[in-house]
Each structure stands twice: as C-alpha cells, then as structure tokens.
Amino acid sequence: MHSLYARVNNVSATMSSCLMALLAAIALSTFLFTADPKGDLAITNVKVTAGRDRRYRNKSQDYALVNFNVSADLTPLFNWNTKQLFLYLEAEYENAKGGKNDVVIWDRIVRRKEDAFINVVGKNKYAFKDITNTFKKVPAAHYALKYNVMPYVGALTYGEAGRTLESLEFPAAE
Amino acid sequence: MLNFASVITSGLMMWKTLGAITNTASPIVVVLSGSMEPAFYRGDLLFLSNPSAEEAKYGTGDIVVYNVPGAAIPIVHRVLETRETGSKNRAQREQKLLTKGDNNPVDDIDLYNGLQWLERKHVVGVVRGFLPYVGYVTIAMNDFPQLKYALLGGLGLLALIQRE
C-alpha cells in the first residue's frame, strides 16, 4: 500500500493542489487593488494630408496627423500581480450614419513601475485613416487614453486614464 | 475501461459546458507564436469568452483570437481599429476589426489572406484571463512526438500493472 509510487503520487497531488490554490489566491487578489489613476491628455494639433494609399498606389487616401501631450502617473497600477501595462491613445468618432469608429493611433508597453510616469509629447504612430478614404464627412473626434493591465496570472483589466473634454474637428486636407 | 470512458466523457462535457457559458467554440487556447511578447509567450494558457449576441461588439485594446480562412493556426493579437458599417440600426450593424500583435511593427492586413478587415465570424474569442507556462506540455508534445508516445506508453503500462 505504501509503495514508493503511492508516496510520490500523494506528494505531487498535494503540491499541485497547493500551487493551484496559491495561483487562484494571487489571481483573486488583483480585484482588491482598485487603483484608478487619471492623467492629462491634450491634443495640440490635428492636420489632414492628402496622399496615396500605401497598398494601392492609384487610390487617393487622406491621412490624419495628430500631435498630443500625455502626462500621467500610472504607478498605482503596478501591484505584485502586474506583469505589464499596455497604454494606448485612441480616436473615437461616429460617422454620418452613426457607426462607431475607434482607432488606436499610439501605444506603449510599460513593463516597470519606474517607467510608469508617462510624459510624452508625440504624434500618431499608426496611420490614421477613415474607411471612406477621406476625412471630409467625418465629424469631430474625441480622444481617449486607455490602458490594459496584464497580470502574471489571472484576469486582464481595462481602464481609462484621460479623455478630451471637447471633440476636435478634422481640418480640410492639405 | 469504464472508468477511462467516464473520465473522457466528463472531460468533454466540461469543455462543452465551459464553451456554452463563455459563448466560444474553444474557451481555452495555448499561445503558439511570439507576436504578443512580452505579454504572452509560447505555451501560455489563455481563457476566452465572447460578448453575448445582443451587444456583440469588440473594443480597441481587446486581445482577440481569430481564425481567417486558409490560415493554419489561430492568431492571438490586439484590436487596433473597430469600424461599424452598414445598417442604421445599431444592433444590426456589423463591426470590422483591424488587429496587430504587440510585438509586430505593422498591422495584420497581410495575415488576413486577402481580406481587408476581420469580422465577427472570424473571431474565436476575447482573452479574459491568463495562466503562464501550463500549455507548454501540448507544444512540447507537438514539437517532440517521441515525448507523446513515451507518455502514452508509460500511462498504458501503469494502467496494466496497477491493480486496485
């Protein structure tokens, strides 16, 4: 009955259930940290340039260029179960038919608490286009700074750290 | 033998129930590529769910698992753009998605096999939870088939020589 096999089996079963319980406790502990830091987001300039589609050269395509300032202290989001932060800036607008458009124009991965003081003066990292290829009929857009907290184990959580108070118009293409 | 069959069927039942609750065909997937590093590495386990049918919208920043026609394996990437098109009625509107791997410099259009946008029918689920390393067993078994046979053989041998 108390063979070596039975002993090994017992020990490994106990160890793995302890490990599972520990992981579950760590995953659940994330819900106790309810930090909701806010930062400042300012869109300093929006410009639209007429150009060519990068894929289909004979098609004309407008690109929006957005300059922004972001300053935020996101250190409270780092707890013992935070692996990294995915920070992103998105433009939000509804087209003439009321369809929602959300476009991420800039993002950053923050891996250490020391890097979580965000202070960026930047411009959009990804091509900002409308599905109609032009911004002529696109109404004013809001911009929002959002984040995704990615844990070592457990649930992914999302939040918003900043938002423009007023919507910004797209100027005519240059 | 009966015991074995009951283990298999109860496993299958749990998988299907989990799928029904979370509204996806495969509620748990293993990461197979490194395009979401440093968040997800090969072998990490992801738990998926889908928004229920009525409010079936995805958001930017969501990490989705998708399968485009002709692709060999499902891909785990983050949503970069969402665009609603079509009908004036919000519920009937379709959502077009563009995704990008956090570790890739460019978006995924080249991975869509000629499609311009990803649609709901291509999406397996949204990543809600994360468990590191556990899925590596399946990757190891795929990369080194000998391991699979050794494991199966070992288990079979144990089942034969063990008597309760």
pLDDT digits (tens, 9 = 90+) for A63-108: 999 999 999 999 999 999 999 999 999 999 988 778 899 999 999 9
Reported as type and span, the H/E element at residue A20 is helix A4-29
Bridge-based pairing state of the strands A40-52 and B45-49:
unpaired
H/E stretch holding A87 reads strand A82-94
Residues A48 and A135: beta-carbon distance below 8 Å:
yes
ipTM: 0.89
Across the range B10-31, mean pLDDT stands at: 90
Of B102, B108, B122, B143, which is the active-site residue? B108
Query: Nearest residue on chain B to A109, judged by CA atoms?
Result: B102
Give A-chain residues touching B80 at CB under 8 angstroms: 103-104, 126
B60 with A158: Cβ contact below 8 A: no
pLDDT in tens, B98-157: 999 998 999 999 999 989 999 989 999 999 999 999 888 888 888 888 888 998 898 888
Kindly report the pTM of this predicted structure: 0.89
Domains of chain B in sequence order? 1-161 (2.10.109.10)
Is the CB of residue B82 less than 8 Å from the CB of residue B58? yes
